[in-house]
Amino acid sequence: MVVRVTSGPRAGQWTAVILAIWMGYTAILAAARVLDAWAPPPLLLLLLSMVVFLVWASRRAWLVRLCELSLKWLVGFQAFRIIVEVMIHQAVAEGIAHPTMTWSGTNFDIVAGMSALLLAPFADRVDRRFLQAWNLLMAGVLIITVVTAILAMPTPFRQIGGDPPNVWLSQFPFVWLPTVLLLYAWLGHVVLFTRLRRTAF
């Protein structure tokens, strides 16, 4: 919807089609238990492909047009992570996810969502250097969260013990957490970083 507004109906349609294909592809892999292998873990290959996509997308015209959105929207977008973290916390409470995956463990990604919600109304009036520092810091929190999740997976290089291991991320519909919602969060950081970098301080 946002791409449609900033880049036109055709770009919005292509975005919807590509997203539907990606979600369908990852759902099929999860349902077929293809992602349940952990030596080597195919789920990490999907994460790597997302990194490649973000590098490619960083120079696309449609992403540049997203930078034209209000800073309130670009900052406030990250507030969706509050809902994600509440859901993860519930998964931990039900014994599905590893305990380190929530704020009672080492995952403080909810800070990104809550701070985005509080900061968004004032984003147009805040010093751009502060916004860039916030954006980079919250991206760093996201990196720590991802690394923590990977280190709790039952791979040969697992460093975080305890039960249950993070096998739930390879199952449907939870596979959309790392392959869709994580991608949204990263894309939001890339767009905001690009917007602020183009703004003279």
- The per-residue pLDDT for range 35-49, each reduced to its tens digit, is 888 877 888 888 888
Whether the link from the prior residue into 99 is cis, omega within 30° of 0, is no
Instruction: Please name the amino acid found at residue 97.
Output: A
Question: For residue 201, what pLDDT band results from cuts at 50, 70 and 90?
Answer: very low
Over residues 97-145, the pLDDT tens digits come to 999 998 888 889 999 999 999 999 999 999 999 999 999 999 999 999 9
Question: For residue 55, what pLDDT band results from cuts at 50, 70 and 90?
Answer: confident
Q: Which two tokens stand for residue 58?
A: 């960083």
Tell me the domain boundaries of the chain.
Answer: 2-198
Per-residue model confidence (pLDDT) at position 6:
57
> In a 10 Å sphere around its CB, with 0-12 CB exposed, 13-18 middle and 19+ buried, how is residue 183 labelled?
buried
Q: Does 39 or 186 have the greater pLDDT score?
A: 186
